[in-house]
Amino acid sequence: MSLNSYVTLGRSGLRVSPFCLGAMTFGEELGWGSSVEASNAIMDRFIERGGNFIDTANAYTLGHSEKIIGDHLGKTPSKRHRVVIATKFYTNLFPGDPNGGGAGRKSLMAACEESLRRLQTDYIDLYWMHAMDMHTPIEETMRALDDLVRAGKVRYLGFSDTPAWKVAQAQLLAGFKGWSPLVALQIEYSLMERTVEGELVPMARELGLGITPWSPLKSGVLSGKYTRENAGKVKADRGVRVEGVLGEKAYSIIDVLQKVAKEQNTTVARVALAWVQNRPGVTSTIIGARTLEQLDNNLGALEVKLTPQQVAALDEPSKPVLGFPAAFMQSAPVFMHGGMTVNGVAAPPSPLAPKSDKDRW
């Protein structure tokens, strides 16, 4: 696979590259991002390689991320129309204003105008709700988003970091009302974060949402920088976000990543990204890069083809503990079609089934 092997996003006709360039690191306001010049070079390299999907948010580097994209791509029609620009609303950038953030009509309409101004474009390709707003009825949010689509200011809609039940409620409401549907779901997903497989992933697949994982390398934990051998000796770039998860589970996964990377003659990061990109329901994985070297290394993951044995080896130490009823449902086929295989799902004989017809009341 290559970066220009485009895929449609969810149940839509929007063509996107299999990797999406995350722009959270564009700008140095938070002390760990890329300069304007480096950000521009990263965008250029990504587009030269065939990438056309860039993801940002109104809150990234206090809005500077959007401004960098706007200055480099948005104000030049020939560049802007060739890329799919995704951004998010929700975060409040106006301290003291209760309507400065969230998913209410007043807030999201204003946030859209602010993003359009910074991006220097008259439309947003994909507009995400960054997280669930517990204070706003979902019908208000979905109707306001539909108004933005009808006004031509937004092309497609998606939700990020929202419970499965709320996403499902929004999608079904949109269907009943004839409003613009959601086409994508952005969630954290990696070998270190697989609990999304309990509810969010099957929900997305059922409702036609293309999954775009964020933090597929778990903030760099799975980048190859950290190993069991150098534990405690390498300073974490993101502090407690990394140090807090560098425990036995992480090292057990990294051990297997190193083994598979050696077998594939590639890097740990590429193996971790290849695993995520090939998970059921995943459309385009969001990759971040602060340097061209990091970008090139990550893009090489598209050339990695893991064997079924290697996937199984990675699945084992990363196996998530799922909540109810997801964990219960894993055993349900035993009672539904015990001793048979349906749609590729095999189940052992059920202990509750009669041994013969004469044993059944």
Q: Is 278 left (phi over 0), alpha (psi -120 to 50) or beta?
A: alpha
Smallest CA-to-CA distance from 177 within 208, 210, 146 is with: 146
**Burial of 108 per CB tally in 10 Å (0-12, 13-18, 19+):** buried
State the number of CA atoms in the 13 A half-sphere of 130 facing the CB. 20
Distances (CA, A) of 222 to 85, 257, 261, 295, 346: 27, 8, 12, 15, 33
What is the DSSP-derived secondary structure letter of residue 42?
H
Listed in sequence order, the residues at least 6 apart from 358 whose beta carbon sits closer than 8 Å to its beta carbon are none
Question: Of the listed 6, 60, 90, 127, which one is catalytic?
Answer: 60
Q: Kindly provide the b/e burial profile for residues 60-96, where b requires at least 16 CB atoms within 10 angstroms of the residue's own CB.
A: bbebbbbbbbbbbbbeeeeebeebbbbbbbbbbeeee
Establish whether 60 is a catalytic residue.
yes
Terminal alpha carbon distance of the chain: 56
| 326 close to 199: Cβ distance less than 8 angstroms | yes
Catalytic positions, please? 60
